Amino acid sequence: MKTRFCLFLLAGISLLSCATQPPSKPIVLSAKGYSEHLEVRVKSDDPAVESLQFYQKTETGWIKAGQPSKTPGSARFWKEKNSNTSGLFAVKAVNEKGIESALSDSVSLAFRSMTDNDYLDMTQEAAFRFFYDASHPVSGLTLERIPVDFPDIVSSGGTGMGLLAFPVAVERGWITRQQAIDHIRKMVDFLAKAERFHGAWSHWLNGKTGKAYPFSKKDNGADLVETAYLIQGLLTVRQYFTNDVPDEIYLRNKITELWESVEWDWFLRYPESKVLYWHWSPEYGWDMNFPLVNWNEVMITYLLAIASPTHGIPADCWSKGWQSGKHLNGKSFYDIKLEVGWDYGGPLFFTHYSFLGFDPRNKRDGLTNYFKNNRNVALIQQKYAVENPKGFKGYNAECWGLTASDNPWGYGAQEPFREDNGTISPTAALSSMPYVPELSLPTLKYFYHTYRDSLFGEFGFRDAFNPTENWFAKSVICIDQGPIIVMIENYRTQLPWKLFMANPEIEPMLKAIGFTEDRE
């Protein structure tokens, strides 16, 4: 016992002495200047690092610039009154005791005016770090959120949204093509071994083991909608890596295997059914009992289920299943007509999740042109913010956007009137960029300049804020960050739309449903 005690005491002394040692010097990966802030991204393998401190070179030596950045991968210095417009900067790593490392290598940086493209580049690149730099170390899949609530939890649907961003990252030079291939190969190999239920993945997975992690008590098995978001991303990636080289052939074949193994038809549940069901559990069966009907975020599930070459469902499930509930609207709000959907349009994620890969332009089914209808939903939301019928602080023509996000009381799906609690979610307006760029781009600038470091961090815009409550989320969430990257790119180059729509299964599916050209 005495020997063990001595060893423990010695170990404690060793740990204590380590805690008083300065962290290792951070290695600079990149450095950029923007209108309101300077940013240096660093690499530090020292687990003791808690924050990063900017330093600026002056005539008398190096002085601290701004407050420490609490995210260890990126240091930011926000423009202060009478700030020098340019100069030499460096970074020190700081541990929990406040002990600083040696200065990093210095970099030359300058505040600068920004073009529209600069704002879009800044926003997309920062958000992509969530899906690449902060991905799960074992599986490569996407974390549900940062800061994490549960260690090792990854999101199947969020992973799909992140996958759509990888071609964007390669084309814009954030990572190389080979880096993307290597990362996605790790992801698809893990997905192939992960627990599945009739080919469908669960909402949450354990990023180490691949086992389903319950989203709720009975939601511990298949989640068909999250699976659809994942497949949407996989098919987009499959269509990008088309070179005739072993790595890309492997990716295409593996993705095809995963796509063709999803038993979409099994989720019709009943013989002769036209309605898909969201959940199935090996323990609770169909107890969740959630039919996929009405206008909502699940449109992509029907599109893919009808398109499946191996487990397809009848094309009339589109009209007799998904559209069988409360779908048509026909009313006008602020003199803007909604052909389908909820009064005032509902939360804006309805217009984003299913349209990350699916291009709704210039086509209509029997009810509407979904691009025009989605544009009208965004227009109505902006008009609602201008009217501000509940009198919340901060709402105006450039500060708008209600959707599902964190809020001061937890998490909720904010929407006009019914669920409006004063919480603005940046993803709502920014992911509406293809529909209303004339509104979304000024809003992006407004968020950045008005709320500065309270709202913009290492992974881009944080999840939400509520000016009435003087509350700003600390979180970023996968299903909000992913649409920002992808929908901004669909506005800029339409790359995600072009890739997904080029899959050979898509055009026959559109014809079977009865989509027709609509270029008005």
So what's the pLDDT on residue 13? Answer: 32
What would the pLDDT profile of 339-384 be if each residue is shown by its tens digit?
A: 999 999 999 999 999 999 999 999 999 999 999 999 999 999 999 9
Whether 418 and 342 share a structural domain: yes
| Residue 154 DSSP SS3 | strand
Q: How far, in Å, CA of 247 to CA of 130, rounded? A: 24
**Chain position carrying tokens 């004339």:** 438
**Last residue in a domain, options 78, 113, 148:** 113
Q: Which residue has the tokens 């038993």?
A: 263
Residues 48 and 143 in one domain: no
Contact status, residue 25 vs residue 93, Cβ threshold 8 Å: yes
The rounded distance, in Å, linking the Cα atoms of 180 and 169 is 8
Sort 41 into a burial class: Cβ within 10 Å, 0-12 / 13-18 / 19+: buried
The per-residue pLDDT for 409 is 98
Same domain for 321 and 451, yes or no, is yes
Residue 16 lies in a domain: no
The strand order across the sheet containing 86-95 reads: 61-64, 49-58, 86-95, 107-110
**Domain shared by 180 and 70, yes or no:** no
Residue 133's closest CA among 204, 44, 254, 48? Answer: 44
Q: Would you state the structure tokens that stand for residue 303, as one six-digit string?
A: 């599109």
421-472: per-residue pLDDT in tens?
A: 999 999 999 999 999 999 999 999 999 999 999 999 999 999 999 999 999 9
Instruction: Tell me, yes or no, whether 227 and 136 share the same domain.
Output: yes
pTM beyond 0.75, yes or no: yes
The answer to whether position 473 is within a domain reads yes
Residue 12 placed within a domain: no
Give me 234's structure tokens: 């996989």
122 lies in the same domain as 32: no
CATH number of residue 61's parent domain: 2.60.40.10
Domain count, the chain: 2
Structure tokens given for 233: 């991303």
Kindly state the average pLDDT of the residues 128-134.
Answer: 96
Q: Does residue 150 share a domain with residue 38?
A: no
Res. 4: pLDDT tops 50: no
Q: What is the CATH number of the domain that holds 159?
A: 1.50.10.140
Average pLDDT of span 281-296: 96
Q: What is the DSSP string of 169-217?
A: HHHTTSS-HHHHHHHHHHHHHHHHHS--BTTBPPSEEETTT--EE-SSS
pLDDT at position 99 over 70: yes
* DSSP letters spanning 97-136: T--B-PPPPPEEEE-----HHHHHHHHHHHHHHHHHTTS-
**Domain end: 91, 113, 135, which one?**
113
Q: Which of 51, 82, 113 is the last residue of a domain?
A: 113
pLDDT in tens, 162-198: 999 999 999 999 999 999 999 999 999 999 999 999 9
Tell me if 3 is assigned to some domain: no
**475 in any annotated domain:** yes
Question: In terms of domains, do 160 and 78 share one?
Answer: no
Cα–Cα distance for residue pair 458/280, rounded to 1 Å: 37
For 137-159, what is the mean pLDDT?
95
Contact 313, 305 (CB under 8 A): yes
Mapping DSSP to helix (H, G, I), strand (E, B) and coil, where does residue 229 land? helix
Based on the fold, state whether residues 141 and 180 are members of the same structural domain. Answer: yes
> Is the Cα dihedral 361, 365, 370, 376 positive or negative?
positive
The answer to whether position 451 is within a domain reads: yes
In degrees, to the nearest 5, what angle opens at C-alpha 500 toward C-alphas 481 and 231? Answer: 65
In a domain, 331, yes or no: yes
Residues 37 and 136 in one domain: no
**pLDDT at site 82:** 77
What are the residue ranges of helices labelled H in 298-401? 299-307, 317-320, 370-387
pLDDT greater than 80 at residue 80: yes
Instruction: Kindly state the tokens that stand for 390.
Output: 């509940």
For the segment 147-162, the average pLDDT, to the nearest whole number, is: 95
74 and 128, same domain (yes or no): no
DSSP element (H, E) containing 32: strand 27-33
Residue 82 shares a structural domain with residue 171:
no
In a domain, 434, yes or no: yes
Task: Kindly report whether the peptide bond that precedes residue 147 is cis, defined as omega within 30 degrees of 0.
Answer: yes
Range of the domain at 31: 22-99+106-113
Secondary structure percentages of the chain, helix, strand, coil, to 5: 40, 20, 40
- Classify 254 as helix, strand or coil: helix
Answer whether 435's CB lies under 8 Å from 382's CB: no
